[in-house]
Amino acid sequence: MKIVLEVTFKMGGVSYRGYRWEEDALVFEFERLGDAFIQVLSTRKVDAEVEKPPAKVLVELKTKEGGKVFEAFEREGIYIASEP
């Protein structure tokens, strides 16, 4: 089963690192670790082949300041998320 995630970030410079399971949640991992970034919305689309449907899909963004986790919602077969 393929899970597709489309996530919009507030700034550029985001790298996709992969995904992992945390209990029933599928967590997509991203990072933005540089010093200066263009303040422009950037959208990334990634997917994962999984054995079972997740109870929820989360996006984890690691930054030099720490990071944040936010939830994606499903619309027409694609999970959508925006950086808060």
The answer to whether the beta carbons of residues 33 and 18 sit under 8 Å apart is: no
Confidence (pLDDT) at 54 = 97
Residue 31 buriedness (CB in 10 A; 0-12 / 13-18 / 19+): middle
Read off the pLDDT of each residue in 13-26 and give the average, rounded to a whole number. Answer: 96
Read off the pLDDT of each residue in 13-41 and give the average, rounded to a whole number. Answer: 89
Lookup: tokens for 84? 């808060």
pTM of the model: 0.92
Confidence (pLDDT) at 37 = 65
Read off the pLDDT of each residue in 13-30 and give the average, rounded to a whole number. Answer: 96
Q: For the chain, what percent of residues have pLDDT higher than 90?
A: 79
Report the largest interatomic distance among the alpha carbons of the chain, rounded to a whole angstrom.
Answer: 39
Confidence (pLDDT) at 40 = 82
Which residue ranges make up each domain of the chain?
2-82
